[in-house]
Structures are given as structure tokens and as C-alpha cells.
């Protein structure tokens, strides 16, 4: 996917509408708990400033479901952006209303305007042409830099591209470079680690990756569906009874493709999925009733470590245990440490795995951490992302 970026067009002095992903976590006092997504947008914004653009930023935050809700306002983002850039970011009171259109019309070169939450309008998620047209009418060029929303066909991610020349920002360019190369031209051995709660969330990903990887390591809640499919008792562990046949099919496909499919051999089990519960480690084939698997065990950690030492490219999506609870975060943390020390391209596919790597303080040791959970999953599935498809080809 060779898409035009902001470097491929003449931007000087132009009015540019930039779709960012400022969907950041806020605490009860509207303070930003993690500014990673805002920081990720800075290279694109700074490049536009260097080219004396008049910059209009837009984003969603949370799920206000088409209504104005003050707790989902982007005001804290405007404040944080102003701090990071060392210059004022003007905040609009609305999205396509009088305040926004007037402020956009009066923007001078080198000024930045942030529109209010685009999801305060139901038309945004409906990809309403009239709403898209009004949004586009404020600018001369459209830049999509919101990889985290690129799998959504909304007005601000797709609709506006019908009315303006549309290119990608540096963040989307970076995501496509790393994720695209991993899938289409990886340095081998190429391995994937998949975790998370459900097989159903990752069916497409497993299916697509089995066409491409040399080894697939599976952990997290979804592993127990594979054990149940082989006839083992999984106690009270997470298990999708309706996906047992599918798990069998995937294991068979791995065999047919000559892909090494590695499941855990031991598991740390607990009476309840919470801190302070009684725990012990057992073989994955011997989980007693009344207990549930909540992390991979030490033998599995060592087995995964040994396999990963051979890798030249690794993609990781989904934690390997209940990482939010300290006693069940060991597997996830240990594998994160292994990847941090590898002489390989290491790509973390957004969402919980990215959160786990940051929690372990190892984000700087990874080659690339995706900013899009859902978008990177769909990309790994081989799906086309509407927010990228609508951009101009090189």
C-alpha cells in the first residue's frame, strides 16, 4: 500500500484538516492519564507548522453517541497539545457550527485550531455526506493520521476524502511501513505471539498469519479453547464452547502449512480472577474443576523464550495472562523482556499488549508499537482499512 504522504504534495501556506487519534484516557477530573496518542501526532503537526500551514485538527474521544457531553470534550487535549508544542492551540466550541467555521475561516499561517469531538454528531459515525462536506469545506487538503480509527468508515476518516485531496500523515506512514513489511516481506524466521481472551476475536488474524509465519505462539484466555478442543478439562477457565471445531481446524491448518503452533504446557491457575486469590501452577492438561487458568507457567515462559531467540521478526498481539493483576502478569512481562533484548524487528500490535509493554517500561526497546488496537488487528487479518484505502496512491 503505497499511499501519498504529506511529503508528496505542496502544502505551503495551505489550510489543512488533520484527523488525529486523540482518544486518550481521562481520569474523573478530566486529566489525561496517558498522552501517548497525542505525542504520536506531533511529527505531522510540526511538519505542517514548518510549512506555514493553517492547521485544523479533529478527533473523537470516547463514545458520546452523537450527543454533546462535556466529559468527552477535547479541551484537555487542546491544553496538553499547547504544552507539548509550546504554542497556543485554539479550541473550537463545536465541530461544524458557527464557532468552528468562523475560527477556521480566520486562521492565520502557523496557527492551530482543534475542533470539538467529532462524535458529538451522529452524522460522523454514519459517514453522512452532508456532514463530511461541511467538515471538508473548512480546508484545502485532508491528512489522515489516525491509524487507531482507520478501520472505521466515518465522515472524518473517509467521507472528507471525497471532497479534498487526501494523504497520510507520518504516523499512518510508519504503521504501514512496519506492519506492512512484517506481513508482506518479513525477515525470517517470522513469529507471531497471540494472546487475549477469545479465539473469536482473533480467528481472522490466526487464519491470515498461518499463511505467513514460521511459528505461532498462543497464550492468554484463548489457549483454553484449544485445550478443550483436544478433549482436556479446563476447569473454570475462559473457553468458547462454540469455537472448539474451529480451534481443531486451525491446528490442522498449521500442521498442513508446516507452521509450528505452540500452546502453553503449564498454567498458573487461581480460584478467582482477582488479586489475592489462591494460586498454583499445573500442567495445561490437568486443570481441576473450580480453578481457572490466568497466566502461562514457568515451563511455558522458558519454552517460548527459547523459540523466540531464533526469530528475526516478531508480531505480538494480546497479553498472555490477566496482566492487570500482578500475580498473573508474570508471563506477559517475561515475554516483553525477551522481545526487548532480541536482535530482531519487534512489533507490538496496539491495545492491551501495548499497555502491557508500557507498564513494564519497555516501550523504547521495541521496534514499533502500534497506536491502533482494532485497526492493527484488522490489518493483521489482511483486511483493507477504509481510512487508508481512501488516500491518494503514490
Helix segments in the chain, DSSP class H: 36-50, 75-85, 98-105, 122-125, 129-136, 170-184, 203-209, 223-229, 244-257, 298-308, 330-341, 351-359, 373-380, 386-389
Residue range 77-121, pLDDT digits in tens: 999 999 999 999 999 999 999 999 999 999 999 999 999 999 999
Domains and CATH numbers, the chain: 6-173 (3.40.50.1260), 186-380 (3.40.50.1260)
Mean pLDDT for the stretch of residues 357-364? 90
Is residue 255 part of the annotated active site? The answer reads: no
Q: What is the mean pLDDT of residues 334-342?
A: 96
Catalytic residue (choose from 198, 260, 312, 358): 198
Which one of 37, 103, 134, 202 is the catalytic residue? 37
- Residue-wise pLDDT tens digits, 115-166: 999 999 999 999 999 999 999 999 999 999 999 999 999 999 999 999 999 9
CA dihedral 4, 10, 14, 17 (to 10 degrees): 0
pLDDT digits 0-9 by tens, 187-232: 999 999 999 988 888 888 999 999 999 999 999 999 999 999 999 9
Q: What is the pLDDT of residue 333?
A: 94
- Residue 321 among the catalytic residues: no
Q: Which of 196, 349, 351, 372 is catalytic?
A: 351
Query: Considering only CA atoms, which of 149, 156, 166 is closest in space to residue 131?
Result: 156
Q: Which of 62, 66, 97, 374 is catalytic?
A: 374
The model carries a pTM of: 0.90
62 tagged catalytic: no
Asked if 119 is an active-site residue, the reply is no
CB 223 within 8 A of CB 246: no
Cα distance between residue 53 and residue 47, in whole Å? 9
Amino acid at each position: 500500500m503505497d499511499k501519498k504522504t504529506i511529503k508528496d504534495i505542496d502544502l505551503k501556506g495551505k489550510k489543512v484538516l488533520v484527523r488525529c487519534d486523540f482518544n486518550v484516557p481521562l481520569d474523573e477530573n478530566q486529566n489525561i492519564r496517558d498522552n501517548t496518542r497525542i505525542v504520536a501526532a506531533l511529527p505531522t503537526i510540526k511538519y505542517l507548522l514548518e510549512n506555514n500551514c493553517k492547521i485544523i485538527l479533529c478527533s473523537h474521544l470516547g463514545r458520546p453517541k452523537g450527543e454533546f457531553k462535556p466529559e468527552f470534550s477535547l479541551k484537555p487535549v487542546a491544553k496538553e497539545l499547547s504544552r507539548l508544542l509550546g504554542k497556543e492551540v485554539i479550541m473550537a466550541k463545536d465541530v461544524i457550527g458557527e464557532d468552528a467555521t468562523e475560527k477556521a475561516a480566520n486562521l492565520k499561517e502557523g496557527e492551530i485550531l482543534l475542533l470539538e469531538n467529532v462524535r458529538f454528531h451522529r452524522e460522523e459515525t454514519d459517514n453522512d455526506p452532508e456532514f463530511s462536506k461541511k467538515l471538508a469545506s473548512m480546508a484545502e487538503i485532508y491528512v489522515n493520521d489516525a491509524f487507531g480509527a482507520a478501520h472505521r468508515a466515518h465522515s472524518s476518516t473517509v467521507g472528507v476524502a471525497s471532497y479534498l485531496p487526501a494523504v497520510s500523515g507520518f504516523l499512518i506512514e510508519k504503521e504501514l511501513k512496519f506492519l506492512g513489511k512484517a506481513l508482506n516481506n518479513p525477515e525470517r524466521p517470522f513469529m507471531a505471539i497471540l494472546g487475549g481472551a477469545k479465539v473469536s476475536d482473533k480467528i481472522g488474524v490466526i487464519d491470515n498469519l498461518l499463511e505467513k509465519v514460521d511459528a505461532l505462539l498462543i497464550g492468554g484466555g484463548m489457549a483454553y479453547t484449544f485445550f478443550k478442543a483436544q478433549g482436556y478439562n479446563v476447569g473454570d477457565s475462559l473457553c468458547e464452547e462454540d469455537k472448539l471445531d474451529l480451534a481443531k481446524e486451525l491446528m490442522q491448518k498449521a500442521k498442513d502449512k508446516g507452521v509450528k503452533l505452540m500452546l502453553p504446557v503449564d498454567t498458573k491457575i487461581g480460584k478467582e480472577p482477582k488479586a489475592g486469590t489462591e494460586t498454583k501452577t499445573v500442567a495445561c492438561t490437568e486443570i481441576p474443576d473450580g480453578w481457572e487458568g490466568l497466566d502461562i507457567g514457568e515451563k511455558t515462559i522458558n519454552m517460548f523464550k527459547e523459540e523466540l531467540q531464533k526469530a528475526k521478526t516478531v508480531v505480538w498481539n494480546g497479553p498472555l495472562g490477566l496482566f492487570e493483576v500482578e500475580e498473573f502478569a508474570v508471563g506477559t512481562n517475561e515475554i516483553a523482556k525477551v522481545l526487548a533484548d532480541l536482535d530482531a524487528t519487534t512489533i507490538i500490535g496496539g491495545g492491551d499488549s501495548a499497555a502491557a509493554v508500557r507498564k513494564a517500561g519497555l516501550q523504547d526497546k521495541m521496534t514499533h508499537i502500534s497506536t491502533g488496537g482494532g485497526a492493527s488487528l484488522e490489518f493483521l487479518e489482511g483486511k483493507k482499512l477504509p481510512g487508508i484505502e481512501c488516500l491518494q496512491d503514490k
